[in-house]
Amino acid sequence: MRTLIFATGNKHKADEVQNFLGEGFALLCLKDVGITEDIPENEPTLEGNAYQKAKYVFDRTGKACFADDTGLEVEVLNGGPGVHTARYAGDGKSSEDNMALLLKNLEGVKNRRARFRTVIAYLDNNGRVFEFEGVVTGVITEKKSGSEGFGYDPIFRPDGYDKTFAELPLSEKNKISHRARAMQKFLEFLNK
């Protein structure tokens, strides 16, 4: 079994990634490696934030690790909230606050096209950085629906589906999500 350090404190995200990786990998999260402080995420891009988090953990553990950053990019908001997705409604706000603000900002808007984009940065013991990207397109619904998943899942309906991410079973979401697509590329890299 291979051990991987994932630079996250988000249990939902860790569970989703562990489920995707399968039994051949043991996933360690921040608390498992003694990192309890908030990791800075102040880069202007998803790629920059993913690398910053991976490097932060690597510098403290000396072990290869990976981090991701995800943005919800809404067409009529010029790609926003983008890099600010997790803090869209402000620091210390919840996913509920973020969704409420986004729905308010899209009231009466016909073009609800959006995409989720995940970037994974993997930093190895030789100081090399590898990046893997996954994208899923869809629309922002007019109201919340479903109780699975996390974040914006109750208001994002992927193309080709009549359900939001929050209405899909995790096994189905893990086949098509932005994170799943980035993880598939990462897993192929790890298995080389």
Catalytic positions: 69
Q: How far apart are CA 64 and CA 145, in angstroms?
A: 38
Residue with tokens 């990192």: 35
The helix (H) or strand (E) run that includes residue 176 is helix 170-176
| Region of 79 on the Ramachandran plot (φ > 0 left; ψ -120 to 50 alpha; else beta) | left
Residue 148: CB atoms within 10 Å = 17
Distance CA 109, CA 137 (A): 18
**Which residue, 27, 49, 47, is CA-closest to 39?**
49
